[in-house]
């Protein structure tokens, strides 16, 4: 482990990229020519499955491009896709339910109440973790690099220990609450907190408290190797991706789902899954200006054309995703692409569709 610690410490200094990282701000170059959402997505060559709905009317539910290039299988909304960091919306929802059930007194409780030996744990609150304001550095890039280079199989507890060792050696990136910096470490810690407090695995808790109550029958931890006719294959620059250790992503990005289930999840979030006071913990109030993101818990708040939206994207090996909630029009935009590194495209799609359909 000594060699591992040295390599990871070096990687923390030089690696800023994460395969399940959420972009801080969306692209703003919306297409000026627009007829319909379907025609627009065909024109730009989008690959994946899409839902656009408004006031309970489905404007578009369709697959585009190939789900399996080798077998000429088209994308279809019924197929299952890796959703990457949209997982964080489920993790945040689970934490709020922990508070509702009395496992957590309030989200301002310090991490030291649950992990007494965590460095700076008396300064880092649950809300800091949920809103990416803890100052804890991101683990994903260096852990992925080490796993790939050395054919090493990580478990989540080991990653947690690596995060602690990194903080002990190099400190936090900033004082908790002082800034925002997107870090998957925050949500890995929240996942472990769920397990520690409930005695259930992360996925068991989600299954009992979110999947089953909402009939999310196609949602859960994705397999390391994609197989079966029900799943879209993932691609990177046209090449099918291989095996990925989903436990690295864990509660920050391990979930797979489909359009139908994310539609149910989105509608639940827009309606009564949370109480009004709980929604204030999840959804940050918008700034007065348009096109500026405000971090909440599992979602970013943004104003486009004076309309408030909540959104979160996901990037993971072979896939790019986006979940957008539009409360004023009871609208949803869901993009599940089986192409990697399409984060700029997804936000262009989001802005274009909102400006033309909402």
Separation of alpha carbons 228 and 46, rounded Å: 23
Task: Return the C-alpha torsion angle 76, 82, 85, 87, nearest 10.
Answer: 90
pLDDT at 348: 96
Rounded to a whole number of angstroms, the CA Rg of the chain reads 19
pLDDT at 289: 87
| 71-128 pLDDT tens trace | 999 999 999 999 999 999 999 999 999 999 999 999 999 999 999 999 999 999 999 9
Separation of alpha carbons 345 and 113, rounded Å: 42
Closest CA to 107 of 136, 131, 91, 137: 131
- Which DSSP state fits 80? B
Domain of 81, in residue numbers: 2-357
Distances from the Cα of 81 to the Cα of 39, 66, 232, 326, angstroms: 23, 13, 6, 23
pLDDT confidence tier of residue 18, bands split at 50, 70 and 90: very low
Separation of alpha carbons 64 and 105, rounded Å: 46
Q: To the nearest whole number, what is the mean pLDDT of the chain?
A: 92
Separation of alpha carbons 356 and 64, rounded Å: 20
Is the pLDDT reported for residue 66 higher than 50? yes
| 231-259 pLDDT tens trace | 999 999 999 999 999 999 999 999 999 99
Helices (H), 83-201: 87-100, 126-130, 140-150, 156-170, 184-198
Task: Please count the structural domains in the chain.
Answer: 1
* CATH number assigned to the domain comprising residue 132: 3.40.710.10
Separation of alpha carbons 220 and 87, rounded Å: 10
Separation of alpha carbons 170 and 158, rounded Å: 18
| 19-57 pLDDT tens trace | 344 444 444 444 458 999 999 999 999 999 999 999 989
Is the pLDDT reported for residue 269 higher than 60? yes
- Which DSSP state fits 344? H
pTM here is 0.92
């Amino acid at each position: 482990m000594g060699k591992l610690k040295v390599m990871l410490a070096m990687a923390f200094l030089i690696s800023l990229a994460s395969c399940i990282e959420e972009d801080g701000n969306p692209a703003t170059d919306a297409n000026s020519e627009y007829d319909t959402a379907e025609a627009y997505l065909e024109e730009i060559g989008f690959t994946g499955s899409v839902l656009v709905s408004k006031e309970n009317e489905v404007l578009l539910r369709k697959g585009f491009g190939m789900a399996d290039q080798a077998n000429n299988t088209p994308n279809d909304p019924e197929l299952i896709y890796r959703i990457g960091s949209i997982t964080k919306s489920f993790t945040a929802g689970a934490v709020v339910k922990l508070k509702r059930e009395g496992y957590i007194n309030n989200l301002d409780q310090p991490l030291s109440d649950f992990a007494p030996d965590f460095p700076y744990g008396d300064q880092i609150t649950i809300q800091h973790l949920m809103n990416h304001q803890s100052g804890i550095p991101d683990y994903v890039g260096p852990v992925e690099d080490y796993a790939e280079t050395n054919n090493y199989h990580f478990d989540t507890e080991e990653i947690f220990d690596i995060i602690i060792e990194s903080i002990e050696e190099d400190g936090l990136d900033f004082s908790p609450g002082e800034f925002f910096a997107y870090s998957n470490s925050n949500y890995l810690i929240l996942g472990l907190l769920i397990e520690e407090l409930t005695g259930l695995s992360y996925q068991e808790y989600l299954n009992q408290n979110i999947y089953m109550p909402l009939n999310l029958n196609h949602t859960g931890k994705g397999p390391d190797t994609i197989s079966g006719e029900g799943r879209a294959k993932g691609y990177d620059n046209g090449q099918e991706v291989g095996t990925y250790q989903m436990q690295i992503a864990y509660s920050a990005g391990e979930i797979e789902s489909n359009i139908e289930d994310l539609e149910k999840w989105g509608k639940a979030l827009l309606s009564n899954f949370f109480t009004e006071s709980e929604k204030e913990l999840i959804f940050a109030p918008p700034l007065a200006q348009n096109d500026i993101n405000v971090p909440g818990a599992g979602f970013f708040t943004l104003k486009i054309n004076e309309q408030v939206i909540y959104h979160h994207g996901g990037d993971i090996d072979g896939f790019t995703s986006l979940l957008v909630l539009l409360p004023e029009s009871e609208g949803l935009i869901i993009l599940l692409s089986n192409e990697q590194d399409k984060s700029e495209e997804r936000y262009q799609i989001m802005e274009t569709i909102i400006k033309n359909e909402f």
